[in-house]
Amino acid sequence: MFFLNHFVNPVVRTLLRSPLHRLLSSSLVLLSYEGRRTGRRHSLPAIYTRDGDRLVVVPAQPERKRWWHNLRGGMPVDARLRGRDYHGYGRLVAEREEVERARAL
């Protein structure tokens, strides 16, 4: 995870913010949110899919990651998707049926 967080993610974040975003934006979104405890702004690339007008992000290996805990109870988020910025509300889905539905997408 160290290599991914410190070397790969910064390159991917830069690409998603650049005119070259088309190389990655069919499957990756740049998700930005504020940390609950620190109040610091975080931006990370995440794999997404669409469910109507909603974006669904299911973290790979969630047991090894902590960022998604910030979405408990809901939180304002920004998304850079296909070269455009969107503002919305992210929430953690924990109910078994909704998790399975999100994974199926």
Residue ranges in the chain whose pLDDT is less than 50: none
Distance, in Å, from the CA atom of 17 to the CA atom of 25, rounded to the nearest integer, reads 10
Name residue 17's amino acid.
R
CA angle 26, 65, 4 (to 5 degrees): 60
Which range marks the domain in which residue 22 is found?
Answer: 2-104
pLDDT at 54: 87
Domain CATH for 90: 2.30.110.10
- Which of 70, 14, 17, 23 is CA-nearest to residue 42? 70
Write out the two tokens for 99. Answer: 């998790």
Distance, in Å, from the CA atom of 24 to the CA atom of 9, rounded to the nearest integer, reads 12
Q: What is the pTM of this model?
A: 0.83
pLDDT at 91: 87
Q: Total structural domains in the chain?
A: 1
Inter-residue contact 62 to 30 (CB < 8 Å): no
pLDDT at 3: 66
* pLDDT tens, residue by residue, 58-84: 777 777 888 888 888 889 999 999 999
